[in-house]
Amino acid sequence: MKLAKLVKSSNLVRAKRLKQKLSPSELADASGVKPAKLKAIEANKAKPSLEEATRLSRVLGVKVESLFSLKFKEKEKKPARVKARKKLKRASGGQPSKRILPLLTLMAGKKEPRIQKKVMRLVGGVGARHLGETLDTVKKWKRKNPALVKKCAGELRKRHKGDRKAYKLIREALA
């Protein structure tokens, strides 16, 4: 890690300048530091060179050490890595997006119960926004896996229980 990230600098240039009732332009002229640089130094947006810091401290009548200070930040500990499962891309609202439909078609061809449960859960999670496309995809599975189509239809009915329009679409498409 770079040292610049571990060190936080602060300065008292503005406070000392105000205490001595100097304007920024007066301090800049007296010290030979450009006014824009002085403004950036006071705002902690720029760090002065050693020469500039020395000149500023002389004009303000203080030691360089009392004008500028460095504080070391503690290194942040990263949390232990946990193996994260790759999540399927989801549309807004946590619903599976239409991008996963081809993947579901591939998964639907498998006869393993574990995979079929996952397909049912994902199909059941599809919101009304992508319902038509999902139903078209599920319809294509009828010949290969009719049992899975029935289970997916049940999941979709559960998901869209109160929505008459969606319920009617499901019934017509998968009946």
Burial class (CB in 10 A: 0-12, 13-18, 19+), 54: middle
In the three-class reduction of DSSP (H, G, I as helix; E, B as strand; rest coil), residue 35 is classed as helix
Q: Is the pLDDT of residue 50 over 90?
A: no
95 and 154 housed in the same domain: yes
63 and 112 housed in the same domain: no
pLDDT at 97: 57
In a domain? residue 67: yes
Q: Position of tokens 């070391």?
A: 72
In a domain? residue 2: no
Q: How many folded domains does the chain comprise?
A: 2
What pTM, to 2 d.p., does this model score? 0.40
Structural domain span for residue 97: 90-174
In a domain? residue 30: yes
pLDDT at 23: 92
120 and 154 housed in the same domain: yes
Which CATH number belongs to the domain containing residue 54 in this structure? 1.10.260.40
How does pLDDT run across 134-153, given as a tens digit for each residue? 888 888 888 778 888 888 88
Q: Which of 37, 72, 107 is the last residue of a domain?
A: 72
List of residues 6+ apart from 172 with CB closer than 8 A:
none
CA-derived radius of gyration, the chain: 33
Q: Is the pLDDT of residue 82 over 70?
A: no
pLDDT at 7: 52
DSSP structure class, residue 83:
-
CB 135 within 8 A of CB 170: yes
CB 88 within 8 A of CB 103: yes
